Amino acid sequence: MKDIKRNKRGKESDRIVLEIIKDYPGFSQYEIAKKLKSSSGLIDGTIRRLLKQREIFIRVVERNGRRANLIYPKDQKPSELLEVPIDLLKIGNPLWDRNAFIYALDSSTIGVSGKELSKWEEVSCFHKKISLKKEKSKIELEIPKDFQRFYNLEKKHRTVSINGNNILITVSGDIVEEKKYPS
C-alpha cells in the first residue's frame, strides 16, 4: 500500500517539476526546489526519474570555476533559435512585425530589437537585420550563423532577458557536457 501511495506522489511530483522545467528551461535543481518551496532531495529524485524517462536532459555549465547542472526539457530548441513570449514585449506598436535587428554589443552580450537602434549600432562590433516569425503567443527568430560563430553558441550557455522592448542575450559559461539517459 505504501508503494502505491509513493508511486502516485512520485508521478505527481514528476508532472509538477516537468512543468517548471518547461516553463523555466535552464533552471538548476536548487532553483527548481526554491520555486516549488520543496527540498532539494525531493527534486533530485524527481530529476533522476525524469532523466531516466528521457523527459529531460542536463547541461553541465562551468562559470567562474564552478559547475552548474542546468535542466532542460527533452524538446528544447537548438541554440540558434530564440523564442520570446509576446506578452513580455510591447507588441502594441509597429515593432516586432516581420523583422528584428541583432547587434553584437560586446564579447558576451547580443542585443535584439524590433527597430534599428543607432546607440547600439555605434557600439556594436557588427549588426544585422533578420526576419522573424510571429505567432499568437511568441516571436521566434534564428540567430545568424556569424553571430553563432562569434559567440561560440554551440558550446556556451546563454541567458535571455527582456529590457523594455528589447531582448538581451548574455553568453556566459562553457557547456562542459550534456547528460542524457543512455539508450
pLDDT of residue 178: 84
pLDDT of residue 83: 84
- Rounded mean pLDDT, 67-95: 78
Give the range among 36-45, 98-107, 115-124, 156-165 with minimum mean pLDDT. Answer: 156-165
Q: Is the pLDDT of residue 6 over 60?
A: no
**pLDDT band at residue 77 under the 50/70/90 scheme:** low
What does the buried/exposed string (b/e) look like for 19-29 if buried means 16 or more CB atoms within 10 Å of the residue's CB? ebbeeebbbeb
pLDDT of residue 38: 92
Q: Which residues make Cβ contacts (< 8 Å) with residue 51, sequence separation at least 6? A: 57, 58, 179, 180, 181
pLDDT of residue 92: 53
- Topology of 2-75 in CATH? Arc Repressor Mutant, subunit A (1.10.10)
Domain locations along the chain: 2-75, 81-177
Plot region of 164 (φ>0 → left; ψ -120 to 50 → alpha; else → beta): left
Instruction: Give the DSSP H/E element, type plus range, for residue 168.
Output: strand 166-179
> What's phi and psi for 55, nearest 5 deg?
-90, -20
pLDDT of residue 2: 44
pLDDT digits (tens, 9 = 90+) for 83-108: 888 888 765 555 788 899 999 999 99
Pick the more confident residue, 9 or 93. 9
pLDDT digits (tens, 9 = 90+) for 123-159: 999 999 999 998 888 889 999 999 999 999 988 888 8
